[in-house]
A and B are shown apart, each in its own frame.
Chain A
Amino acid sequence: GAGVSQSPRYKVAKRGQDVALRCDPISGHVSLFWYQQALGQGPEFLTYFQNEAQLDKSGLPSDRFFAERPEGSVSTLKIQRTQQEDSAVYLCASSLVAGAARGANVLTFGAGSRLTVL
């Protein structure tokens, strides 16, 4: 696609519910990142995929957070048993190349999924 597409744009969940957030990166982009942005803060790194391989998940806040990219394109971020502190905007970004390649740090962000946990 022309840009990074995320859905849903807005999600309201009751505490304890499971949620799934979807990211469609730009077609052909190798790298995919998930970031979490709380109100008034900058984006915080959650996890990184190179194609279907999850190379780093060190930013995931707890084992309630799980991300996958099974075919190396669409990615899903799943949050189980949501808590109020999970309320944030979840941003997905992709990049054409990976590793140390020139341009691997040029990210295109999606508009984000705004999660509110009541």
Chain B
Amino acid sequence: RKEVEQDPGPFNVPEGATVAFNCTYSNSASQSFFWYRQDCRKEPKLLMSVYSSGNEDGRFTAQLNRASQYISLLIRDSKLSDSATYLCVVNRMNTGFQKLVFGTGTRLLVSP
């Protein structure tokens, strides 16, 4: 079983739709959490951090449930430019350094 699990999708949604991605992680020692975005044939880029209190950045809302070891990302009013793969990432201390562990990613396709 992978340490970070995501539904690979693809999620096909029309412009303007609201879409939600979920992710679970197995290591309770995980300390911090992120969503990264990866465009086709590009490198991953940080989208946003995820906090227990929930955090919002424009159309994007991230939520963490530590008890359930569950992370979510909500995208409202989807744009064509949101089409990408969204990687769920957990971070933990590992032999003296902070190690980012990535999920397989969830692919989103937004159509006109």
Contact = CB atoms under 8 A, between A and B. Distances in A.
Interface residues of A, number: 25
B99 A99 contact: no
A99 B91 CA distance: 12
Interface residues of B, number: 25
Interface stretch (B11-19, B66-74, B101-109): B101-109
Interface string A68-112: 000000000000000000000001000000111000111101111
Given A40-B8, A109-B44, A110-B43, A99 B96 contact: yes
B97 A43 contact: no
B33 to A, nearest CB: 10
For the complex, would chain B's binding face be called helix, strand, loop or mixed by DSSP majority? strand
A17 B66 CA distance: 46
Contacts, number: 57
Contact of A91 (B43, B101, B103): B43
For the complex, would chain A's binding face be called helix, strand, loop or mixed by DSSP majority? loop
A42 B95 contact: no
Contacts of A50: 96-97
Interface of B: 4, 6, 8, 32, 34, 42-46, 87, 91, 93-105
11 contacts: A42-B4, A42-B6, A42-B102, A42-B103, A42-B104, A55-B95, A55-B97, A56-B97, A100-B93, A100-B98, A104-B97
